[in-house]
Amino acid sequence: SHFLRLIILQYSCPSNSQPSPHSPLAVISTEANMQLCVCLSACRSNEWFCPLSATLGSLEFSLLYEQESSSLHCSILKAKGLKPMDSNGLADPYIKLHLLPGASKSTKLRTKTLRNTRNPAWNETLTYHGLTDEDMQRKTLRLSVCDEDKFGHNEFIGETRVALKKLKVNQKKNFNVCLERVVPVGEICAPGSNCYEVEERGRILMSLMYSTQQNRLLVGVVRCVHLAAMDANGYSDPFVKIVLKPDMGKKAKCKTQIKKKTLNPEYNEEFSYDIKHSDLAKKQLDISVWDYDIGKSNDYIGGCQLGITAKGERLKHWYECLKNKDKKIERWHTLYNENHVNSD
253-255/238-245 β-pairing: antiparallel
Calpha distance 330→344 (Å, rounded): 26
- Please provide the size of the chain in residues: 344
Q: What angle do CA 135, 138, 141 make, to 5 degrees?
A: 80
Q: Is 246 left (phi over 0), alpha (psi -120 to 50) or beta?
A: beta
How many domains is the chain partitioned into structurally?
Answer: 3
pLDDT < 50 stretches in the chain: 1-48, 52-54, 183-197
Is the residue at 194 inside a domain?
A: no
Give the range of the structural domain holding residue 13, as residue numbers without chain letter. 1-47
131, 228: one domain = no
Determine, yes or no, domain membership for 105: yes
If asked whether residues 126 and 107 sit together in one domain, one would say: yes
Residues 162 and 264 both lie in one domain? no
Residue 344: inside a domain, yes or no?
no
Are 30 and 138 found together in one domain? no
CA dihedral 178, 180, 185, 190 (to 10 degrees): -10
| Same domain for 248 and 138 | no
Q: How confident is the model at residue 237, as a pLDDT?
A: 94
pTM of the model: 0.65
Amino acid at 246: P
Same domain, 278 and 223: yes
What pLDDT was estimated at residue 35? 34
Q: Roughly how many angstroms between the first and final C-alpha of the chain, as a whole number?
A: 53
Domain check: are 239 and 207 in the same one? Answer: yes
Other CB atoms within 10 Å distance of the CB of residue 166: 11
Distance set, CA 291 to CA 6, 11, 38, 79 (Å)? 51, 57, 52, 38
Boundary residue ending a domain (153, 187, 221): 187
**CB atoms closer than 10 angstroms to residue 199:** 18
Residue 341 placed within a domain: no
Query: In terms of domains, do 158 and 177 share one?
Result: yes
pLDDT of residue 228: 86
The pairing of strands 200-211 and 299-307 is: unpaired
Among 187, 211, 232, give the residue marking a domain's end.
Answer: 187
**3-class DSSP state of 300:** strand
Measured CA to CA, the distance from residue 148 to residue 164 in angstroms comes to 28
End-of-domain residue from the set 29, 47, 65: 47
- The reply to whether 343 falls in a domain is no
Handedness of CA 16, 18, 20, 25 (dihedral sign): positive
Does one domain contain both 88 and 205? no
Determine the Cα–Cα distance for residues 271 and 173; give it in Å rounded to an integer.
41
Q: Read off the CATH number of the domain in which 206 is found.
A: 2.60.40.150
Residues 125 and 36 in one domain: no
The verdict on residue 327 lying in a domain is yes
Asked whether residue 342 is assigned to any structural domain, the reply reads no
Distance between CA atoms of residues 2 and 135, nearest Å: 32
